[in-house]
Chains A and B, each alone.
Chain A
Amino acid sequence: MKALIQKLVESIGPSGYESNVRELIKTEIGDAASNFQVDPLGSLLVRTGKKTAAGMRVMLSAHMDEIGVIATHIDENGFVRLTTVGGVSPRTCYGGRVIFVSGVHGVIGGDRPDSPTSMHSIEQLFIDVGATSRENCPVKVGDFAAFDRPFLDLGDRLVAKSMDDRIAVAILVETLRALKGKETPHELVFVFSTQEEVGLRGATAAAYGVDPDLGLSVDVTGVGDTPKGAKMEVGLGKGPAVKVRDGRMLADPRIVRWMVDTAEKAQLPYQLEVLEAGTTDAAAIQLARAGVPAGCMSIPCRYIHSPSEMVDYNDVTNCVRLLVELLSHPIELK
């Protein structure tokens, strides 16, 4: 599974420009599914199974897009000014490298700081692509780029840019593969969504289109297990996290119970998550049409929205196991 993860995190797909990732996912799923559809906002919908009397239409969502930057201005010396796509902090930018969807590489520099300790604002940063003038700059205003950082395998711990949320993409692909040939009473719609980082936009439209009976997103969540970190219970390696709430969603308590009970029955590790900021595709699914019971399975992740997001490989494989377990049996919400 590490090879799949590496391929996914090293592909480029800033919000709104996810087609590279989408093509890669289709290839990786291969013949594990046959029903593929791309919706008007670019989300990839993969359907398997038939809804039986005891089953539901279940939407699973992992977002393909990643945070990045957009060129806003090319100055007379060929430097590219930028704005952000999604939650990019200037802290993680200076000295970093980006790669444009067009393939152009660049490094991020900044205006001379006001003081040695002050941090650049986004407006004080620029991308140097090696150009010397506006005319020979290969970047146009409106071009999108993602951060560039190779995958790092530390054994149990894996590090990369865009673990948020390619790790969940990998998990859903692996779950699809694992479910192949298995009996499930459900119609499963795997949604690889777009534009999550700019406001759950892909999932909002996809949830309307899919019209599910139940929705589950898979995404990363913050942790409290680093020095002087956030006051939060979740930590790496303690199992996938069952979300109780986040900044914009109260997970359906019946789904929390279902996930917890299933994990305990299958003797799989899990932890409970209360996140005070941020949200996932599940928030959009919950409010689609006349409402959808929704929840979220989270992968604990350190340094979210930096180019070095870290997850624990055991959490990842346990997440796949738990998903397979959850989706193989009739679901009783109580």
Chain B
Amino acid sequence: MNPKTNSQQAPVLGAEAIALLERLSNAVAVSGDEGEVRAIVLEQVKPHADEVKVDALGNVLVTRKAKTKDALRIMLAAHMDEIGFMLVDEEEGGLYRFATVGGIDVRQLVGKPVWVGKQHQAGIIGARPIHLTKRDEREHSIPLDQLRIDLGLNGKAKVGDRATFATTFRQSGPSLVGKALDNRFGVATLIELLKQAPQNVDLLLAFTVQEEVGLRGVRVAAYAFAPDAAIAVDSTPAADLPMWDGSENSKFNCRLDGGPAIYVADSGTLSDPRLIRHLSQTGDELGIPYQFRQPGGGGTDAGAIHKTRSGVPSISVSVPGRYAHSAVLIGRLADWQNTFNLLHAGISRMNRVLFEQPR
């Protein structure tokens, strides 16, 4: 069989898939309050699933049975939550103190519009006029306790409400641009995989909560599924920008247009070597571009999955994205498509022999 024909048979992520990604990107789902994304996920998965459950933490657990008997149980995890803010104190005149949720660089906050609460109420984060700042003050980042979310003079929100950057999704040439594409890319990928589900495995999809605050949702999801193997599908930073001195950038993590980033090692997981081999061979044989994410820090849901029960062979595959954990992430449609293709083909080719050799 000509490998090229095989890869062309893989389904295309067209206008409909992009529209779904857009809805997901524009939804607000700060860790612990993932309801808005959960609603979209539930609506999308129900027609295609054999079983759908929302668990005690708010994870959506979806099962789609194989057409064969004694099939491998393969778990795919994508987190629904995003970084953001929680209002923690109300002051006069529509001003609110807030805390950050998840890893946010305070230098990213100033001068940004935000959406507050379930109604996406408009707000802004301002700063002291430059005229009133002193030179030494300008040498330091503006600390969080000096910042407020301003809802306008009559703005009314509740302490405890969540907020996030107000960024509307758009396409720009080959790129997809939006907030929270870490990890709505993963959420959309799982939904599309369910719609075109490989028939050879029991597909166990976990749309997880609280990843950004410590991989908490996925831990109980993996316990409930007790899978034979798992793949975390996420988005990983592409730091493929020039170095300050023009020297070779050896710390790019991964690159846009390089295809899905396969993890070898991050701070939470040493990927199962059998799965690294399997996915890279799948890419090589079918002509699906992929790249190895540079080993190093960071982490995904795999960090919790692989330690569940007696251990689960696990790996992560990510869609590259620039500027994660800020107001805007830029990814490529082609990378997303190839991530989908690699996962679809990789899962379709999985069988028990893969795990018979000890790790």
**Interface of A toward B, CB cutoff 8 Å:** 15-17, 19, 22, 38-43, 70-73, 75-76, 81, 83, 85, 123, 140-142, 194-195, 198, 201-202, 204-206, 208-209
Q: Which residues of A contact B309 (CB under 8 A)?
A: 205, 208-209
B250 contacts A42, C-beta separation under 8 Å:
no
Task: Tell me the smallest distance from the CB of B272 to a CB of chain A, in Å.
Answer: 8
Assess whether B276 is interfacial by the CB under 8 Å rule. yes
Closest to A79 in B: B250
Residue from B295, B296, B308, B310 in contact with A39 in the complex, judged by beta carbons closer than 8 Å: B310
**Interface of B toward A, CB cutoff 8 Å:** 248, 250-251, 264-265, 270-271, 273, 276, 292, 294-296, 306-313, 358-359
Q: Which residues of A contact B296 (CB under 8 A)?
A: 72, 83
A183 CA / B273 CA spacing, docked (Å): 40
Q: Which residues of B contact A19 (CB under 8 A)?
A: 358-359
Closest to B359 in A: A42
Given A17-B273, A81-B250: A41 and B311 interface contact (C-beta under 8 Å): yes
A43 CA / B358 CA spacing, docked (Å): 9
Q: Which residues of B contact A15 (CB under 8 A)?
A: 270
**10 closest Cβ contacts across the A-B interface?**
A205-B311, A16-B270, A209-B310, A142-B264, A40-B311, A41-B311, A42-B359, A38-B358, A73-B250, A70-B295
Closest to A85 in B: B265
B294 contacts A72, C-beta separation under 8 Å:
yes
Q: Which residues of A contact B358 (CB under 8 A)?
A: 19, 22, 38, 42
Closest to A200 in B: B307
Q: A141-B295, A208-B311 are in contact. List 8 more A-B contacts (CB 8 A).
A: A38-B359, A40-B310, A40-B311, A40-B313, A42-B359, A140-B292, A142-B264, A142-B292
Q: Which residues of B contact A17 (CB under 8 A)?
A: 273
Q: Which residues of B contact A43 (CB under 8 A)?
A: 311
B311 contacts A209, C-beta separation under 8 Å:
yes
A259 CA / B296 CA spacing, docked (Å): 40
A-B contact pairs, 26 of them (CB 8 A): A16-B265, A16-B271, A19-B358, A40-B310, A41-B306, A42-B358, A42-B359, A43-B311, A70-B265, A70-B295, A71-B295, A72-B251, A75-B250, A81-B250, A83-B296, A85-B265, A141-B264, A141-B294, A142-B292, A195-B270, A201-B270, A201-B306, A205-B306, A205-B309, A205-B310, A209-B310
A72 contacts B311, C-beta separation under 8 Å:
no
A208 contacts B310, C-beta separation under 8 Å:
yes
Q: Which residues of A contact B306 (CB under 8 A)?
A: 41, 201, 205
B251 contacts A70, C-beta separation under 8 Å:
no
Task: Tell me the smallest distance from the CB of A229 to a CB of chain B, in Å.
Answer: 30
Task: Tell me the smallest distance from the CB of A76 to a CB of chain B, in Å.
Answer: 7
Q: Which residues of A contact B276 (CB under 8 A)?
A: 142
Task: Tell me the smallest distance from the CB of B221 to a CB of chain A, in Å.
Answer: 16
Q: Which of A206, A208, A209 gathers most chain B CB within 10 Å?
A: A208
A39 contacts B273, C-beta separation under 8 Å:
no
A205 CA / B305 CA spacing, docked (Å): 11
A141 contacts B307, C-beta separation under 8 Å:
no
Residue from A38, A85, A123 in contact with B251 in the complex, judged by beta carbons closer than 8 Å: A123
Closest to A18 in B: B359
